[in-house]
Amino acid sequence: MEIRQFNDLGYTLTTVKTDKFKTNLVSFSFQSEINRENVTKRSLIPYVLRSSSEKYPTKKDLNTYLESLYGASLSASVEKRGKAHNIKFYLSLANEKFIGNREPLLEEGVELLKEVVLNPLVTEGAFKEQVVETEKRLLQEYIESLYDDKTSYALQKLIENMCQDEQFSINTTGYITDLAGINGTALYEAYQEMWKQDRLAISVVGDIDHEVVYDIFKKHFTLSSQTEKIEIVDYEEKQLTEVNVVEEAQDVAQGKLNIGYRTHTRVTDEDYLTLLVFNGMFGGYAHSKLFMNVREKASLCYYCASRLDNYKGLMYVYSGIEPKNYDQAIEIIDQQLTDMINGNFTNQELELSKKSLINSKLESLDQASGMLAHEVLNELICNPLTIDQWIEIVKSISREQIQEVAKKIEKDTIFFLTGKEVTADEV
């Protein structure tokens, strides 16, 4: 694997050469700070662009063209990373050397992406109303469908409650209540704003030649200036007094218990890797304290795990339990954190977590996304780490460091989605 970066095209172009894949992946990412006022518009933009351009005015036209490029796939999406809201496009193209005597597909792919992001179908300063209306409907139906996936619904409600007055509580995909006020003109303005304000990063991963890729982009896609980097890591904190407990009853077969914590440790902090090792021991793996105690010993659940948001400094514990076992589950989970703080863990537990973490890191490098993720991390921290350095630091973490990072963790909010009938029985 070999990584190069080019910065003279008006954006950052990262090229990753690897022969692990039978496809080439091109991604565009437009990044700006999330804000409540334009988040819904920004959530519509990638889908409107994906569905209608001058050359491919309908989805059917574009999808037909993608099929003719040997099943190329183009996806549009939005994501939230800390304070950043990213509009993303991923194009996956077959590497022509596996298809026989086919002309290179990459250049056609770049031209297609250019068409999608730069030549939308616009009349009199507005996107086509019919296209906008369809995408508004699709976004609304998507947001509504989140309610039906109870596991992710409960997690979303936890974050909403825990970060109520913080920027972090802004929904990645926007708000249904905003939709009525958005038309083709307003959305086109937001699109122009995106080109003015956002920082664009492009990456290409595959069995490529760096210079050839650079030349293709130079030929087709040069911008006048690059926007400044924005702060991604979210340092906003709040004063905690007591644990906020929120309960909601729905007609569910199983209670969904979600607990939110402040770790006060972020990706840019010295003890960031220590927190990752801590999380592995606490609830990250099948040998973790949560899995062993809540599931294996007490048989309370099928899953009980913890995960981190390292841009914001949060930890979530989530489990599916019988509503009547709520108190017991909370008690066992609390005890595990106390044990971590007090150093009630074996050296083996520490070793298992380190080994698992290193293994996951190395495995991730077999995927295009994992290769890029390490680069993204390095851009955020002061002293970029090679993979070997990263591994050495993880190996060196001590029991005391784990206890220190555990002590910083504060329980903030519990959100419990419980069943309707059972609650009535309990009264």
Partner 1 sequence: MKCKEFPQLQEKIYFEELENGLQVYIIPKKGFNKTYATFTTKYGSIDNQFIPLNQKQMKLVPDGIAHFLEHKLFEKENYDVFEKFSLNSASANAFTSFTRTAYLFSCTSDLKENLTTLIDFVQDPYFTEETVEKEKGIIAQEIKMYDDNPDFKAYFGILNNLFNEHPVKIDIAGTVESIQEITAEMLYECFHTFYHPSNMLLFVIGDFEVEEIMDLVRQNQVAKDYEKAQPIQRQYPNESESVAIKERSIETEVQTAKVYVGVKDVVVNRNGKDLLKADLTTEIIFDLIFGSSSQYHEEILNKGLINDSFSYETTFEPSFGFSIVGGDTRYPEELAVSLRQKLEDIPTMSFDEQEFKRIKNKKMGRFLSALNSVEFIANQFTQYAFNGIDLFSILEVLEEVTMDDLNEMAKSYFIPERISTFKLLPKK
Pair 320, 302: CB distance under 8 Å: yes
What Cα–Cα distance (Å) separates residue 425 from each residue in 159, 247, 328, 333, 417?
29, 16, 18, 25, 16
Cβ closer to partner 1: 238 or 420? 420
The distance of closest approach from Cβ of residue 269 to partner 1 in the complex, given in angstroms and rounded to an integer, is: 26
The distance of closest approach from Cβ of residue 414 to partner 1 in the complex, given in angstroms and rounded to an integer, is: 19
Cβ closer to partner 1: 8 or 331? 331
Contact partners, residue 16, CB within 8 Å, separation at least 6: 1, 2, 3, 203, 204, 205, 206, 368, 371, 372
Tokens coding 41: 């518009």
Cβ closer to partner 1: 154 or 200? 154
CA 194 to centroid of chain Cα atoms:
20
In 3-state terms, what secondary structure has residue 22? coil
Check residue 226 and report its DSSP letter: P
188 phi and psi angles, rounded to 5 deg: -65, -35
Cβ closer to partner 1: 366 or 379? 366
The distance of closest approach from Cβ of residue 73 to partner 1 in the complex, given in angstroms and rounded to an integer, is: 8
> Which residues form the interface with partner 1 (CB under 8 A)?
18-23, 58-60, 63-64, 66-73, 92-95, 98-100, 134, 137-138, 141-142, 144-145, 147-151, 250-254, 256, 285-287, 295, 299-303, 320-322, 348, 351-352, 355-356, 358-360, 362-363, 365-367
What Cα–Cα distance (Å) separates residue 318 from each residue in 143, 298, 374?
22, 16, 27
Tokens coding 360: 């996951």
* Interatomic CA distance for residues 55 and 59, integer angstroms: 11
Contact partners, residue 379, CB within 8 Å, separation at least 6: none
Pair 336, 290: CB distance under 8 Å: yes
Cβ closer to partner 1: 40 or 265? 40
The runs of H, that is alpha helices, within 7-120 are 39-51, 59-68, 106-118
Cβ closer to partner 1: 9 or 249? 249
The distance of closest approach from Cβ of residue 367 to partner 1 in the complex, given in angstroms and rounded to an integer, is: 8
The distance of closest approach from Cβ of residue 241 to partner 1 in the complex, given in angstroms and rounded to an integer, is: 33
Cβ closer to partner 1: 160 or 207? 207
The distance of closest approach from Cβ of residue 141 to partner 1 in the complex, given in angstroms and rounded to an integer, is: 4
The distance of closest approach from Cβ of residue 127 to partner 1 in the complex, given in angstroms and rounded to an integer, is: 16
The distance of closest approach from Cβ of residue 308 to partner 1 in the complex, given in angstroms and rounded to an integer, is: 18
Cβ closer to partner 1: 256 or 312? 256
Pair 87, 46: CB distance under 8 Å: yes
